[in-house]
A and B are shown apart, each in its own frame.
Chain A
Amino acid sequence: MNITKKYGKFKALSNISLEIKDKEYFIVLGPTGAGKTSLLKVIAGLVSPDEGEILFDGMRINEKQPGERNLGFMFENYALFPHMNIVDNISYSSRVHARNPESTQKIVQQFLMMTLLMGRDDALPKELSGGMKQRVALSRALMNLEQTKLLILDEPLKALDAGLRNSLRRELLNMAKSSILDLTVIHVTNDQREAMMVADRIALINQGKVVQVGTPHEIYYHPRNLFVAYFMSEINYFEGKCVKNSKRKGELHKISTKSDKFLKQIQEDSLLLPIDIGIDKIFTVYTDHQKFETIDDGDNILLVVRANHFKIREGNRLKDKKNAFIGLIKRRKFMGVFYRFEVLVKINNKEKRLIISIPATTEIHQKFQEGSNVTVYFPEELGIIFKHPGKDEINRIMSLV
């Protein structure tokens, strides 16, 4: 609660409050330098906060030493014992706690299997690659779990190749969710895909502050601001004006289409907001009541549409599609699961490049080539509206320097 941590004049954490629930897989997500690791260190007791309280089951634990906090943790630099082989490193805590050597041995072998390190029992840390060391450190953290209820992981999968990262993510989640262990996990990462893959809830952190806390669905479909929207996937943004007093007044809509449960909920609880982004047609986007009330006629707004929420059709289909642009495919790239298109459209007579990703099918492969004329459009429930944050803020978020 209200945690602040300063290093000299630099505020690593600025009045952060978070509540992590029992047995939750909680992800702390953010760019490099956001304050993620500082937060973990405060929770683990490796550094003390300058202000604020840390409560564990309602009890203040600020004064407790790390060893008294019943935590398992794995930090980014692994901290393996250099003179011990893999097996001894992993089973260290079991020996300290004098557990049955036979069952320990069995569990260690299971970890070696899971992390693709079997047969390397006698290797010393210096003989291992970065990724291998990381896997040993992860196994060691997970060996400890019988004593702990809270596991803290700092970028546990960072040094691994993509495929192995995928399979270990799944194992981590399985382990955390298995009823025998009943674990609460706090896992820090800078990779939004990793966060979405495993989190029950995500706290997105930037510049020492919590920007938003929510389930993957909430963060993805209801981002609090442009930074959150941008961080979670490739987006397109459009500057425009709210035109509530246009002929297409906002009204409550009941939608009967079968759809994703969460999207259905967006439709049911929302009002249609008409907006003008500088092309002939007025666009309409579902907005929740609260936001609808705070945006007045004539207000400058920002419309955000995720790249994968656009759909694509051949030729000019402006007549029968809402929220549609016509344009030309400038670039097309096959990426595996998706095709990524860059489509040139005209807004206010200026050229704009839209980024659109479409699941890869044979049809898409054949029909949509570079140079094709297309219509691209997005469903009303998938547009995201913000009050215009100002040009400087947009540039700050989107620029890569």
Chain B
Amino acid sequence: MPEIKLENITKHFDEGRVVAVDNISLEIKDKDYVFLLGPSGCGKTTTLRMIAGLENPTQGKVSINKKNMEGIPPEDRDMGFIFQHFEIFDHLTVWENVTFGLEVRGYEDDYIIEQATKALKLVDLYKYLDKYPSMFGNPGLQKLGIARAIATGAKILIMDEPLGSLDPKVSRVFRHQLRNLVKDLGLTAIHVTHNQSEAMAIADKIILMRAGKILQIGTPYEMYENPNSIFVANFLGEMNFLQGFVLKTLEEEKIEIWLRLGGPRLNCNNPENKFKLDDNIVVAFRCEDVYLFPKNYNFEDSKYDWSKMQFFKAKLNASRFIGETKRFYLELDNQDKFESIKSGTFEEDFNIGEELTIAIHQDDIRVFRMPEDLFNELSLT
């Protein structure tokens, strides 16, 4: 029953000149597949290494199963390790690569054979057990890396960019197999990556970091639907951002906003009446929440309830077919641009340059206060 807890963890390097991790606290539940996600230099790998015991925190406490881990070396923390560059021994066979670590630990032969056989079968490499890893490409090498980690019987998997050396196509297939394996075995997994789509596709929970701090923790769904900042909204998927100000405050915790330079006016939610008249704001909405209609579409005839939809006009600059999706590039009168994503089989008959009616549900529009440095918030680094 591994439960991992970090309390007020800070890590300095270079005698305090570099603060890699800045007073973070988090909890990882048993059997959760958790991601440490963020741009390079955000502190995610350092955090992982402190959990694993490969670095000691400058301040704070790491505990596993309520036991303080101070002074406990990595090999006694019930963890299997998977690395970006595999760390496979070329001069050992597939079988020897998996059994090596078990032998070093002094397990009985029967146990070693049982564990190695099970692990190699799980990753579909058992048929290669007497071969050398040089026959494999990167996917095969990483499967071997995974087999070696799970053969130890460890309940926690520690992974640093485990899919980082694979081709995009391969990694998109591999990621689902990795998640299924972790789930089938009931392991707790901590996975570091800078790749948001990988995190969204695999994670039970995402811990998003930037500059040594945690910005938000949640399920992919929570983080995607309710990001707590512009940076999180932008990092976790494609989001449109448009600038404007509060034109009116309305009843029932709503506001009317006016997009800049005479752009459209939109009614938005204003929970707890956070925004006041004249506040400068940024509205954010997901590309897939943007609905497209011909300019003169008759909404009266339809069976749907349009009362909470916000309508405005925009010009279609371009469209692209991308297989699973179609993507539409749109422009407002004020020359601000935004995008819409539809399913690849979306029925449409629009012409480039045509003016369209755009509809967005009020609940799909998020409002953020204009940050001091919007550019920095949108920088993804």
Contact = CB atoms under 8 A, between A and B. Distances in A.
Interface in A321-347: 331, 333-338, 340, 342
Contacts of A231: 169
A322 B179 CA distance: 32
A116 B236 contact: no
Contacts of A166: 238
A164 interface: yes
A92 to B, nearest CB: 26
A197 B321 CA distance: 7
Judged by DSSP, the binding face of A is: mixed
Interface in A355-401: 355, 357, 359-360, 365, 382, 399-401
A196 B327 CA distance: 11
A163 interface: yes
A338 B324 contact: yes
Contact of B322 (A196, A258, A360): A196
B60 interface: no
Contact of A260 (B124, B288, B346): B346
Contacts of A57: none
B313 to A, nearest CB: 22
Contacts of B219: 334
Interface string A210-236: 000000110010000000000111100
Contacts, number: 128
A31 interface: yes
Contacts of A164: 380
A335 B200 contact: yes
Interface stretch (B104-112, B191-199, B297-305): B191-199
B326 to A, nearest CB: 8
Interface size class of A (residues with CB under 8 A): 35 or more
A32 B347 contact: no
B335 interface: no
Nearest to A359: B343
Most-contacted residue by chain A among B138, B202, B325 (CB, 10 A): B325
B197 A360 contact: no
Contacts of B59: none
Contacts of B39: 161
Contact of A400 (B173, B220, B288, B380): B173
B324 A233 contact: yes
B224 interface: yes
B381 A161 contact: yes
A190 B168 contact: yes
Interface residues of B, number: 60
A334 B288 CA distance: 14
Nearest to B234: A163
Contacts of A194: 168
A337 B325 contact: yes
B201 A196 contact: no
A116 B344 CA distance: 31
B140 interface: yes
B167 interface: yes
Interface in B282-322: 287-288, 320-322
Contacts of A106: none
A66 to B, nearest CB: 28
Contacts of B220: 334-336
A123 to B, nearest CB: 14
A166 B124 CA distance: 35
Contacts of A131: 40
Given A336-B237, A400-B139, A401-B143, A162 B323 contact: no
A308 B139 contact: no
Nearest to A401: B140
A216 B344 CA distance: 12
A400 B201 CA distance: 19
A97 interface: no
A61 to B, nearest CB: 32
Contacts of A337: 237, 287-288, 325, 341
The 7 A-B residue pairs with the shortest CB-CB distance in the complex, in nearest-first order: A401-B140, A400-B139, A191-B168, A163-B380, A196-B322, A336-B237, A308-B324
Interface of A: 31-32, 116, 129, 131, 161-164, 166, 170, 190-194, 196-197, 216-217, 220, 231-234, 258-263, 306, 308-309, 331, 333-338, 340, 342, 355, 357, 359-360, 365, 382, 399-401
18 contacts: A32-B137, A161-B380, A166-B238, A192-B169, A193-B323, A196-B320, A220-B321, A334-B221, A335-B197, A336-B200, A336-B220, A336-B237, A337-B237, A340-B201, A342-B180, A357-B324, A401-B128, A401-B143
